[in-house]
């Protein structure tokens, strides 16, 4: 799935971001967020809005603000 993410398909980005959140893989999630913008930014921010996932929430909010939807 990672190999086809370069096509920036919504469903693929969503699936990979969910995997990265579940695995608490900060580095891969950060790379995914910065390189591929076709995903539900608000949904990701809400999903990682827990005290122990503050870093992921910060990444998501940074991504959200970069898309001019902020």
* pLDDT for res 54: 64
- Profile the chain (70 residues) by mean pLDDT over runs of 10 residues: 94 96 88 93 79 64 61
Is the Cβ–Cβ distance between 37 and 60 less than 8 Å?
A: no
- Each domain of the chain, given as residue ranges in start order, spans 2-66
Question: Which residues are CB-contacts of 49 (< 8 A; sequence separation ≥ 6)?
Answer: 57
The single residue listed with the structure tokens 């950060």 is 30
* pLDDT for res 27: 87
Separation CA 69–CA 1 (nearest Å): 27
């Amino acid at each position: 799935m990672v190999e086809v993410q370069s096509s920036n398909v919504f469903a693929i980005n969503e699936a990979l971001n969910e995997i990265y959140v579940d695995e608490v893989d900060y580095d891969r999630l950060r790379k995914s967020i910065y390189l591929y913008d076709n995903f539900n930014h608000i949904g990701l921010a809400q999903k990682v809005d827990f005290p122990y996932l503050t870093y992921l929430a910060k990444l998501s909010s940074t991504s959200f603000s970069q898309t001019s939807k902020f």
